[in-house]
Structure formats: structure tokens, C-alpha cells
Homo-oligomer: A and B are copies of this chain.
């Protein structure tokens, strides 16, 4: 991930392209499993027009949604920009009128009052509808066949937060979605609203809480009983925003915080745990057993994002931006507000991790992510020297056996986030496929790799004839979850 966020988003493989593309029948090497009937949908972004400020966050790039449609052993591809209000008004003007990441005080006067979300973080499917997400705004609904933008969605007015996380969770036993919005009542507000949205898309339960300080709550965890709310050190307030600063500053003197409360309560049982400096971005999964809550998460040691400056003026320290598979344990029966942290594997990993989502909230032993395997070759002559180890491999962690196995994508390749696809008819945890895009830095094209999720052998590879827009998050959905067969027939 560092390689994406440092200097390469505006050059080389990730240079902006502005184009929207479609391939009816992609070129394939190997084979496409015939039981894969569904979509791999990716959301990421690129700056359609260059940022107004050179120190802006790459996270501020314009949202782009792309879709690999698998059916009958063939794959089609489609990619489109999300028509956010920002995209539309910038396109009309022919330039970027929006300032620093989530700081409207730095926007041009011409776009004052225009929602500046870029909706570039993750896709979501719920109740048969497709959305793009960014944690500073509501979901934007997208037509799953054409990828055309439909517009902001507030669940028929039931969703009261002005914002919606990019990482909702699902209870696989009920199909209900749990999600939240932070800065829920406006810029730098300390309100967080949690919701349960039933499987039909109706808001069924709300919890309103306050946070001790306003920080990135990028992800959270759900158990059968609790919600777990991690944030740490990133900080904002109206004063620094009015002063024209980027939305987040890193303040390592602030405690790392993890809040835990009942998922069906009213928030009055919320308990805050505190710990030393960490950077909390993504989680794998969590469970509640009696008074014990455990959280599996690939957390970083310190500030991961070089473009969110350290508030003490110290330079960004890449050695702190390392993530590991970690287990956090909380004792709700104790008055102690600390947690225990175990690092389960000593291999540094990328924090974009996945589990077999059918085991979300439930006992689970398999986790997947990407990492830089430095024992593998890298053809610097053909791929170009990026000055660091490429993210060239998938890792499969078996927590029960304490065993890590891996898949190597190629000696000119850099992998984006991995996704898990369950094998049809099998309910065994982790039985299925791993898929994700690889950037072939030599051929300057994007490939989709399909790997057996148990043996980690390659099954097939889909070649795009171009560099696809970068991905933040991607997920697989079976065709039925989107009613795709009917919607495609109507289109």
C-alpha cells in the first residue's frame, strides 16, 4: 500500500487516465471456474483533474467503480467514474475546484455548498442494490448493469447520519447490515450514529454515541453481541480546518481508543479501552465469548499515511507504517481499560485483509491478505525500480495451525487487495477462490488472478489491455445477491 500512497498515484502505472472502458469478453489464460457466476466489483479512484494543492491526499482522488462479471466460464469488464457532485461540477469547469482532503474551507467559492465526497473507497451490496462508499458522505447508488450513478441514498430517510462508513458489516445468520457514520452531524462533529439495517434495506435500530476526540473511524468490528470501535491518533477540529489544513493530523500523544458496546443496546454501556500508539485502519473479524471480546486485525504500529502530517512536526517514519496479523483481547468483566495485543505472525503484511465473510461475527480460523515476499524474484529491469519491495504475494493464515502459506503473482507484478469467493455448494470455511488484480509493471496492464483459496495454486488469469484505475477495496458478490440475471435481461 505504501507504494500506492507515496509518489506513484500521479505517475507510472497509476498515472491518471480519465477513461471509462468496457470489454465484452476478456482475454483469459488458464480457465475461469464455471461455478463463478457473479461480479468482482472494485472501487478506487484517480484525480480526474490534478489536485489543487500538491500536498493533497491521494485518498482525495475521484471515485471509480469497475466490475468483472463472471458467467459461463467467461469474464466481461466495465469501469466508470462515479458521478459525484464534485465530478460533475469539476467536469463542467474543466478543472479541480476542490481543495484539500475533506476541508471545504480550501475549496473554490464556486463550489461552496457542493458535497465534495469522492466516493472512492469501497463498493457495497445490500438488499439487492449496489453502492459506492466513502466515509465522509452517504452511499451513492450505482446501477449494477451499466455502472451509471443513481445518486445519494439515505434508506428512505431512516439513516440520520450525514456520513456512512466504507466498511459495513453483516451478520451472516440474519442478513442484517450493521454500519455507522462518524462526524455524523457535520464537519468535525463528535457524533457517531450506529445503525442496524435489515436485509430488506430498512433501518431497524439506531444508537447515538459521542467520541472522546474526533478521529478516523475507518473500520469497525461486529460480533454476535457487540460492536467494536477502534480509532487512534488521527485528529481534526474546526480550528485546524479553518486554518486551511488537511483533514487529519497525527497526534501520537493521543491515546489509541477502542470502544465496545452492545450492538442491540442504546449506547449507555459503551466502554472505552486505551492503548499505546497504533494506527487502526482495517479489521479481519471479532467474537464475543462470555465477557471476553477478541478482535483479529492487521493494525499498523504508527502513522500509515505520509500525507497526514505528524502534528509535532516530525517527519513521517516508514518503519512505523508496518502492519501485522494481530489479536486484541478485551475483558469486559474487568475494570482495567487496557487490552492485550498479540502479534500472531511476524511477517509484515498489507492491512487490506479478508476473511470468508460467511464467518463474520462467528468463530473463524482463516484470514487472507497481500504482502511483499522478499524471497521471491523481482525483474527490476522490465518492471522499473520503485525503490521498494513489490506486494507480490497473497498470504493465507491458518490461525488454528499457526501456519502461513502464500501465492506469488509474478516477477513484474504488484498485487492489489485480495478477495474471497466461496465455492458454490461448499460451506467449509475458506473453500473457494482468491481473486484480485495484479499490476504488471512491465506490460503496463492490469491482470485479474484467480487462485484456489486452499492450495493457493493459480487457476486462471484475465488480461486487461490497459492499466485499470487503482483499487482501494473490492468484493465478490454472487449474481443472485444483485438479481443480476433479471437486471441484465432488462437492460
Contacts and interface: CB of A to CB of B under 8 A. Distances in A.
A145 interface: no
Interface residues of A, number: 24
Tell me the number of copies of this protein: 2
Nearest to A26: B18
Given A74-B94, A466-B465, A23 B27 contact: no
Given A444-B444, A466-B465, A466-B466, A22 B19 contact: yes
Nearest to A465: B17
A23 B26 contact: no
A465 B19 contact: yes
B25 A94 contact: yes
Interface in A456-480: 464-467
A289 interface: no
A23 B20 contact: yes
A202 B16 CA distance: 47
Interface string A2-24: 00000000000001111111111
Contacts of A94: 25, 74
A13 to B, nearest CB: 12
Contacts of A16: 465
Contacts of A48: 25
Interface string A90-131: 010010000000000000000000000000000000000000
**Binding site secondary structure of chain A:** loop
A81 B17 CA distance: 21
A195 to B, nearest CB: 35
Nearest to A15: B465
Contacts of A18: 23-27, 465
A91 B16 CA distance: 31
Interface in A16-54: 16-27, 48
Interface in A38-78: 48, 74, 77
Given A465-B466, A466-B465, A22 B24 contact: no
A31 to B, nearest CB: 13
Contacts of A25: 18, 48, 91, 94
A96 to B, nearest CB: 12
A430 to B, nearest CB: 31
Nearest to A444: B444
A39 to B, nearest CB: 18
A20 B21 contact: yes
B24 A21 contact: no
Contacts of A19: 21-23, 77, 464-466
A191 B12 CA distance: 56
B17 A466 contact: yes
A74 B90 CA distance: 14
B22 A20 contact: yes
Given A19-B22, A19-B23, A466-B466, 7 more contacts: A15-B465, A16-B465, A18-B23, A18-B27, A18-B465, A19-B21, A465-B466
Interface of A: 15-27, 48, 74, 77, 81, 91, 94, 444, 464-467
12 contacts: A18-B24, A18-B26, A18-B27, A19-B23, A19-B77, A19-B464, A19-B465, A20-B21, A21-B21, A21-B22, A444-B444, A465-B467
For the complex of A and B, 8 pairs with smallest distance between CB atoms: A17-B465, A21-B21, A20-B22, A19-B23, A19-B21, A466-B466, A18-B23, A19-B465
